[in-house]
Structure 1
Amino acid sequence: MRLFTKGLLLIAIPSVFEIGLLGLVYATHLDTEVAGTWAAHSKRVIGQTNDVLEPMLVQSIRVRSAALANDPAAIDDTALWTELDRRVDRLTDLVADNPPQVARAAQIRNTIQQYREWSSHARELIETGQREALIAHLSEPQGSALVDTFRRELNAFKAEELRLDAARTEAVHEARERQRGLLIGAVFGSIAVASVAMYLFIRGFRGRLLALGENARRLADNTPLPPALAGDDEVAQLDGILHTTSRRLAAADRARNAVKRDLEHRAAQLALANEHLRLQTADNEMFIYSVSHDLRSPLVNLQGFSRELAHTCKDLRDALREFDLPEHEWQRFAQLLDEEIAESLHYLQTAVMRSADIIDALLTLSRAGRAEYRPERVDLNVLVQRIAARYQAKLEALDARLVVHPLPAVEADPDAIEQVFSGLVDHAIESLDPGRAARIEIGAREFEDHRERAGQHPLQPFATLYVADNGRGIAASQLSKVFAAFYRPQGGGGVALALVRRIVERHGGRLWVESVEQSGSTFYMTLPIGGVLPAMPPAAAESAA
């Protein structure tokens, strides 16, 4: 038998028993509600009886007071009699299902009417000034008798309702006792039936569950499993799944071990390659430094000799003036000295200066890779404002604006970071388009994925900074070459952007560029955050030239 069928039987047997008990409990509950309703009805009738008594007693007191004060207005209170009639009507409606009580209510109404007529006659005597007749009327026992009769009738009415209330309250108590007994029986009966059904179900199921649990423990301990359980119920199916999982886990362990060995081998190869690359990079930087340093002396000599040749040519020209040469000979020598030799010396000096610039650039790039930086907390607001002041004259000449937004503090070498921003501002100035109003912007921008975008660990605190311009931009085909040494999109050679990237990467950050040709370029970089400083005052937020 499948577990589903066994479960249905386990639920159905106690449910049938419980449904029968619930039917009895519901019937008892209805009886309790009916008894409770009648008990509450009796209490309302008793309360209404008290409401009828009060106005009648008040009126009897008013009659005596009016006779003493000789004031008939206090006797005939129409509102009081109307309210008393309304209360008697309400009392009659409440006992409409009890004819004896309806008859008592009618007698109470009749007594009230008689007393009203008696008090109205007393009022007429007061109004006509018949004091002796009034005294005689009040001395008659009729008024007191009517009040006493009213009280007796009302007390009899109330006593009957109290008797009914006691009987109904007892009925409510008995109904609740029956309901409580049925509820207790239903609870214990349900527990007993469910326990018997559960025992019968578990007696044949416990052994298979224990075997299944043991197989699950063996699977968790990665030990071999015994043969699969027999049968076609869900327990057997779960045991079959455990055996299949065990086989797959064994295969996965074998594959994982193979992948682990392969990864360890590749990691060793990568570490060896990284070490080789590090040594090669160090050798290259040392080679560049040595070659650049060794080439300085020949270039200095060439520069000196070229200047000496220029002075010699001038001395030779002055010497030739002392000779009395024919005019055509003098013109030929002058052309040779002033044009051909002077032009050759100019080309030689230009080449020497160009070579010196290249050597200086190589030395600078080499030093950037070997320099020892001393990181500290740097307020970029102060640093960038200092750079803006240095470029103010040049920006005024170009009619350009440099806008500086509030910047965070970073953890970096201050001289190196100043060199980074100077290099990016230099590149922005070189890229300006004279055909439109020039604008350079420096600020910080928060990318939601800037850490992943910059290739850094998501938990590292990095700030994303940018230097933007609206210049000529960079062609898409040239973006991959922007940071190469001795390459400038606007022509000429240099290592400014390559040096900037080297410095940023040495600080653990990354530098990249986004550009649209004829619209401008934006250079982004990430640097370690060293604490955020308060925003700059509005007056210092922008430097314009």
Structure 2
Amino acid sequence: MPGTSGHENPARDIPSREKAPAGDVSRAPAGRLRLPGPTLLLVLGFAVLASISAMSITLVYRAQDDADSVTHTLRVMNAISQLQVMVRRAESAERGFLITGGDGFLRFYEESKARALPSLDEIGALTQDNPAQQARVAEARPLLDSRFASFERAIALRQSGDLEAAQADLKADRSEGAMSRLGTLLIDMKAAETQLLDSRAIASRHSAGWLTAVSAGGFAVVLALGGLALYLNRRTIAALEEAQQELETVNAGLEQRVAARTADLKEANDEIQRFAYIVSHDLRSPLVNIMGFTSEIETMRTELFQRLGRLRETAGEAREADAEMAVDFEEALGFIKTSITRMDRLINAILALSREGRKEFMPVDVDVGELIANIAGSMAHQTNEVGAVIRAGQLPVIHSDRLALEQIFTNLLDNALKYLRDGVPGVIEVSAVNTPGFITFVVKDNGRGIDPKDRGRVFELFRRSGRQDRPGEGIGLAHVRALVRRMGGLISLDSTLGEGSTLKVTLPRRLPIDNGHKDT
């Protein structure tokens, strides 16, 4: 690129001296160890890092699965313990009520019963993938119901005043067999889960051990590659220093050559500056001439076909073929005029972007909320015509270029209004998100949306996406991106086809003045 290659290596002007490049450390003399070149070492390092990353990710997921399994087993064991405690508490509460008749024991019993049944349901839900545990849960359910039925019979007798019958029932405890079997089932269930916990804990430790080994091994490999890279770098630096000394000796007239090359580059830059004039004058002039001659041809068309008709009459030929030729002639002229008009618009667009690239920014305090309100007011006729509404949230005051901001938001709002969905009332919302040093402005619409394959191209110059049923040359979003980048910001697009689009523009709170001098 002219203007940036002023430090081009003048050594290429030296007559042919056979010399190995300083950075090619793999071209060692005979008898010396051939070491990998920087490119091969870089590829090898990336391959090692990619392998370590892939293995680490796999092991992390495996460790997470093992941890989830351990957590799941602990939840099952906790539910079993909860059920055991609730049954014992219910039994104690029942006996306390039979002995004392106190309402506190009765409430304690009801609370324990209410928590026991959900605990059994939780065990069943957590062990759905364990047929053995499911069988135990199925067997435990009627035993638990039988146990609570026995408790409630004794409680009912005590409440009716038949203390002797209730105490007799307590002593008989007809469901003792059920309780014993229920206790055995719960113990078996906990033992099975303990076994699972042990195996899963071992698997988790193994995964953690492999992860540690891979990380340590990867660190060692990376450290070795880093050491080799450092060694190669030192060799390269030594070779470069040697080459620099040779260059200083050979190129005694370096300053003169640089001056000559700088003059050449200045001339090239001046040639680039004349490009704008070529576009605006020399390239436009042929277009004007073509358009003029096209108009003359169109004017001569009638006379041409009249003469052709008279010649055909003189020759005794039919004139039907002339009508078809006239249609083709008209169509060709239409294509020429359309192409000329489009080229004229494209030239104007290029010139506009070129002028914007050379313009300097003038940062001032800008109330973005007021700016959006003014833009929405200027678009009132357009929004009323398409039945849309522009809503703005709480927007901040930033130190930036007012004209650039106006151009950015005008293009974004105009683009949103242009591509609304048919039959759907348009809603365009403008909001802002504060971040340290930056403000992210969000322009969201419920329009047509953009196909995923077209999201990147919408920011390209003269590129458009979707149905081309709206006027435009495809420079709006390209212009926005150029302005945002020059202001030190970023622009991104998130869109769903048929639902709408969201454009996010991140700008600095305070625009650096030197940003206005950067080229696009």
> What is the TM-score of this pair, normalised by structure 2?
0.42
Larger C-alpha radius of gyration, 1 or 2? 1
Give the TM-score taking structure 1 as reference length.
0.40
